[in-house]
Structure 1
Amino acid sequence: MQDAGHDSTPTPYAYPLLIKQLLHTTFIQAPDQEIVYRGQLRMTYTTMRERIARLANGLHDLGVRHGTTVAVMDWDSHRYLESYFAVPMMGAVLQTVNVRLSQAEIAYTINHSGAEVLFVHTDFLPVVEAIKDQLDTVRAFVWIDEPGSDACEHTIPFATEYEAMLAASATHYDFPDFDENTRATTFYTTGTTGLPKGVYFSHRQLVLHTITLMAALASPVAGQRFHRGDVYMPLTPMFHVHAWGMPYIATVLGVKQVYPGRYVPERLVQLVRDEGVTFSHCVSTILHMLLSCDEAKHVDLGKWKIVIGGGALPHGLARAALDRGIDVFVGYGMSETCPVLSLAQLPLHTEPLDLDEEVRLRCKTGFPVPLVDLRIVNEQMEDVPRDGKAYGEIVVRTPWLTQGYLNNPEASAQLWAGGYLHTQDIANIDTTGNVQITDRIKDVIKSGGEWISSLEIESLISLHPGVAEVAVIGIKDEKWGERPVALVVLRQDAQVSEDDVKQHVLGFSKTGQISKYAVPQTVRFVDALQKTSVGKTNKKWLREQFA
């Protein structure tokens, strides 16, 4: 008789964590759920399934194989969602092109990624026409012909048009298994110095980010949640860090998804109203823009949950959102981190919070989500005290961090010095594990022997009723080293003087909330603040202009 320990067993299926696995329950449980584009085009998840297969077949006919990079230049759309799945599910690599970069930078990123196929929305024909002769690796162009968009005259040799390609392709594609560590996506960081740097993520990383963030967003008892009853609309461009990974989560949950196309404030608010949108994410400048538009004054926003990332959420803006009933809170991450590392979800409290404390907690960097090993360290990589005061750099390990910068070993070594990914963000952490970023390393103001947080001053100035937006930068000072300068955009018809702003900040200094060195030496009123291509305040540009 054969020993039981030596029984032969059929080889079990080694389940690879591939993006295609995210779709198993969706098409069974939510086949008739809607995906809406601009309020004009509606399709079901069943149709989406067919279109993913059609897209893969069309790309295969264009010569796309395992490892081929496919680049996309489009607005937030159902087409982008289809490419999020079809391209990596083939074993190819999706490059999400930042369409807000300069023409030269766009050409650089497409060449650097080695993209062989380029999808081009009608609106971007002028850009591609200008750079097509510089694109060394692209061998096939696919036109996205948007109804209602006017095509300029061009000489781009398109192989096909997106919808025509799908219409001519079969509705089934046998997506293969392969190594879960295969690269799925590439996109480029938008640093304020040097050329954009390519970051990349594998199937395994995107699946783990999806599952973990889904769990983190489901965990609160009430509020600040994302669940199957929600209606999702991204307000972060889909070219930027996978729209924070949220389209993958929305698809796994089978929720109604609304894609707005190009961001027009009035249209965005109309979509919230007409489609019943309940969950979005954006940078604070987009939230400010939405709350300021006339359309928003007449729409009930009380069911909307919004995660703010890409920079600090000023206390004044958080109050304005809460006043409209918006469940607003911060999420933290960066291009290199896929991106989410933490969420400012409110901890359980037996007693109701007063408004000031609630605003403070919603505006913090928040608690690390599961699987994130987050440390705050000094220059010797030693942990700083968890007292909410001592500051250091955030360094992290999680399963979904980029393993380096594409074809840039020197920058990759700096990013991963000491075996942790260095974020360049300065922060403190309290006894509960709640993190608060105080500044970027490059934006910290060093004055009178103290480090001053530009973000903290900005948040305090934002509480002034006449202030719409503010940026605080440091400029050189012979006596103090550096002194803070506030650049302020006023609300319409507000009458505010430089001294009004200084006295406002001085009030917080007198109560000991901030150092006296934090009171701005100069306040400049400006019409607008320069932004980066992803909507963040461009402090490097501001420092150069106002130095």
Structure 2
Amino acid sequence: MQDNLITPTPSAYTYPLLVKQLLTNSQCLYGDQEITYRGELRYSYRTFRQRIGQLASALAALGIQHGNTVAVMDWDSHRYLESYFGIPMMGATLFTVNVRLSAQQILYTLNDSGAEVVLVHSDFLPLLEEIRAELQSVRQVVVIADGQAVPQTGFAVAGEYEALLDRASPDFAFPEFDEHTRAATFYTTGTTGDPKGVSYSHRDIVLHTLTTGMALSAPRAGQRLHREDVYMPITPMFHVLAWGMPYIAVTLGLKIVMPGRYAPDVLLKLHDTERVTFSHCVPTLLQMLLQASEGGMVDLSGWKIIIGGSALSPALCEAALARGIDVFAGYGMSETGPVVSLAQLPPKFRPSNRQEEVRMRCSTGRPVPMVDFRIVDDQLRDVPRDTKAQGEIVLRAPFLTQGYFKKPEASEALWEGGYLHTQDVAVMGPDGFVQIVDRIKDVIKTGGEWVSSIEVEQLIAEVPGVLESAVIGVRDAKWGERPMAFVVRKTGSHVKAETIREHLLLVDAKRISKYAVPELDRIAFVAEIPKTSVGKINKKVLRNNAA
């Protein structure tokens, strides 16, 4: 067979897909664009590039080199954005520490990652001090004081972040290396067992940036991202690289607003003063923003918000649309880059009614380019695209994680059969729109039928006075399992279990089976629903409490 490979000429530049290439266009064309931290500190993209060089020079002076790991524990700041670039661009690995985990879980992740230097905000120093004696690889910390005095600590302090940058050269010579080099690592929330490390290479990050950016900018109007948008992340920078969106924003040269610590009043103020037009968050945060802006004094119109992490309920979607927010769902996991589908309305979409539009916006959406998105049975056979046949979502894409850090068996299970297994049960329609029915472990098996906990939660959310709910399966001697609902009332609401059950019974014939309706004694009102560190409903805790 004749070799058909292209042999580059010796002088040709074989452009590697490295994180530093994402800066090329924005530095050339948008050097004067602005990055602001809480509206209090402002600098240009040109200064951003200089600070990235200073960060790399400072870390190199501390002995960090290609292959080392640098951990970051900070609020969502300009410093975090600098770390997204400066650390991987020098060939080191960025480890975004989930500061909402317990001290022991943080200890495990720091030791497992092999982090040698930690950039830590002074707010998190007490947490780090708590585990200092058990840290195995950390040898120095860089304290982020945010303008305050550096607190006393038992760690070997290399210096304060800004002071180190002031003394460092911006002219760090970022090298070129294999695009498969590990660029970033973070850990899943670990509701079962120890957290699992997920890593992405430079190639993964660049391809995810290009693919998701293409999908977001494709619509003619609405549910899109463009170069005149003002971007503010409301997904923690430690969580799946803030869904990869900061890389997209920098690549496009957008004005970027880093909000620091999340507080609804601060976020709403920044939205107003900085004219924010594009964000992303979990449903809980959207609900908080809507509540904090009740009364109509804050204009939210024109704000495009992607919702992920948990299902976007029709009730929450309606409430956001009523305030002028262009809200829509996105789907992905820690292991998927993360974005693999977006619930953007199709071209020339003309809804027959508002309910149809809300259904599409709340759906799992349609795959973004280059994603092989399948819904299969237990033999990896595609199920019919009829909106009824259920199966597991399995994926192939050029930016999915190739496995868990130091966990070969779990990695093989993740990629069984050559497809990444999401553990999400879904249906797909003829138009390619996907709707997740449930997690495999959360499907309620009762009366010979499978009940979607997500669908029941969405129906409960329609009841006036309900703020949020979570539905799980609990053991039942007759039926195997029966649904149990945990419900949080809105402030001042006195909604009763009878009202919720009556609502579910009214719709059961058309939308859910009778087995999906909880009995009165299995509708519990609670002050709050437990969440994971990234804002997802923690059904493991609910199941343990109900046992």
Same fold (TM over 0.5): yes
1:258 is paired with a residue whose SS is strand
1:298 is paired with a residue whose SS is coil
Per-residue CA distance 1:423-460 (angstroms, 9 max, x = gap): 00000111111111000011100111111100011111
- Superposed, 1:481-520 pairs within 5 Å as 481-510=480-509, 512-520=510-518
- Superposed, 1:121-520 pairs within 5 Å as 121-147=121-147, 153-294=152-293, 297-349=296-348, 351-510=350-509, 512-520=510-518
* Aligned mates of 1:206, 1:418 — CA distance in 2: 24
1:127 is paired with a residue whose SS is helix
* Aligned mates of 2:418, 2:340 — CA distance in 1: 17
Where in structure 1 are there 5+ consecutive unaligned residues? Answer: 1-6
Partners of 2:140 and 2:155 within 8 A in 1: no
1:342 is paired with a residue whose SS is strand
Q: Which amino acid aligns with 1:85?
A: F
* Aligned mates of 2:472, 2:315 — CA distance in 1: 19
1:443 is paired with a residue whose SS is coil
Partners of 2:464 and 2:495 within 8 A in 1: no
2:317 is paired with a residue whose SS is helix
Per-residue CA distance 1:194-221 (angstroms, 9 max, x = gap): 0000010000010000001010001112
Q: Which amino acid aligns with 2:28?
A: I
* Aligned mates of 2:295, 2:253 — CA distance in 1: 28
* Aligned mates of 2:518, 2:276 — CA distance in 1: 40
* Aligned mates of 1:296, 1:32 — CA distance in 2: 37
Judging changes above 3 Å, is the alpha-carbon distance between structure 1 residues 9 and 122 closer, same or farther for their aligned structure 2 residues? closer
* Aligned mates of 2:517, 2:51 — CA distance in 1: 57
Partners of 2:150 and 2:160 within 8 A in 1: no
Partners of 1:266 and 1:296 within 8 A in 2: no
Partners of 2:139 and 2:156 within 8 A in 1: no
Per-residue CA distance 1:268-316 (angstroms, 9 max, x = gap): 1111111101000011011111111157742100010000001100111
* Aligned mates of 1:253, 1:295 — CA distance in 2: 33
**Alignment partner, residue 62 of structure 2:** 62
Partners of 1:290 and 1:296 within 8 A in 2: no
* Aligned mates of 2:20, 2:39 — CA distance in 1: 28
Q: Report the alpha carbon displacement of residue 11 of structure 1 after superposing the two structures with TM.
A: 2.9
**Alignment partner, residue 26 of structure 1:** 26
Q: Which amino acid aligns with 2:189?
A: T
* Aligned mates of 2:462, 2:257 — CA distance in 1: 33
1:375 is paired with a residue whose SS is strand
Partners of 1:96 and 1:186 within 8 A in 2: yes
* Aligned mates of 2:493, 2:128 — CA distance in 1: 43
* Aligned mates of 2:38, 2:107 — CA distance in 1: 29
**Alignment partner, residue 546 of structure 2:** 546
Per-residue CA distance 1:17-72 (angstroms, 9 max, x = gap): 00001111101211111101011111110110100000000011011111000000
**Alignment partner, residue 108 of structure 2:** 108
Q: Which amino acid aligns with 1:217?
A: L
Q: Report the alpha carbon displacement of residue 546 of structure 1 after superposing the two structures with TM.
A: 2.1
* Aligned mates of 2:291, 2:478 — CA distance in 1: 40
Q: Report the alpha carbon displacement of residue 152 of structure 1 after superposing the two structures with TM.
A: 5.4
Per-residue CA distance 1:123-153 (angstroms, 9 max, x = gap): 00101111111111011211111135x8654
* Aligned mates of 2:350, 2:468 — CA distance in 1: 33
1:195 is paired with a residue whose SS is coil
**Alignment partner, residue 81 of structure 2:** 81
Judging changes above 3 Å, is the alpha-carbon distance between structure 1 residues 350 and 123 closer, same or farther for their aligned structure 2 residues? closer
* Aligned mates of 1:470, 1:413 — CA distance in 2: 35
Partners of 1:266 and 1:295 within 8 A in 2: no
CA RMSD of aligned residues (A): 1.4
* Aligned mates of 1:426, 1:93 — CA distance in 2: 34
Aligned length, in residue pairs: 539
Partners of 1:427 and 1:439 within 8 A in 2: yes
Partners of 2:331 and 2:339 within 8 A in 1: yes
- Percent identity between matched residues is 60
Q: Report the alpha carbon displacement of residue 156 of structure 1 after superposing the two structures with TM.
A: 2.1
2:508 is paired with a residue whose SS is helix
**Alignment partner, residue 4 of structure 2:** none
2:169 is paired with a residue whose SS is coil
* Aligned mates of 1:89, 1:112 — CA distance in 2: 22
Q: Report the alpha carbon displacement of residue 173 of structure 1 after superposing the two structures with TM.
A: 1.2
1:277 is paired with a residue whose SS is coil
Q: Report the alpha carbon displacement of residue 538 of structure 1 after superposing the two structures with TM.
A: 0.5
1:442 is paired with a residue whose SS is coil
Where in structure 2 are there 5+ consecutive unaligned residues? Answer: 1-6
* Aligned mates of 1:25, 1:262 — CA distance in 2: 30
Judging changes above 3 Å, is the alpha-carbon distance between structure 1 residues 471 and 169 closer, same or farther for their aligned structure 2 residues? same
Judging changes above 3 Å, is the alpha-carbon distance between structure 1 residues 186 and 499 closer, same or farther for their aligned structure 2 residues? same
Q: Report the alpha carbon displacement of residue 182 of structure 1 after superposing the two structures with TM.
A: 0.5
Q: Report the alpha carbon displacement of residue 228 of structure 1 after superposing the two structures with TM.
A: 0.3
2:95 is paired with a residue whose SS is strand
1:437 is paired with a residue whose SS is strand
Q: Does 1:96 align with 2:96?
A: yes
Partners of 1:125 and 1:151 within 8 A in 2: no
**Alignment partner, residue 3 of structure 2:** none
Q: Which amino acid aligns with 1:517?
A: Y
Q: Report the alpha carbon displacement of residue 407 of structure 1 after superposing the two structures with TM.
A: 0.5
2:131 is paired with a residue whose SS is helix
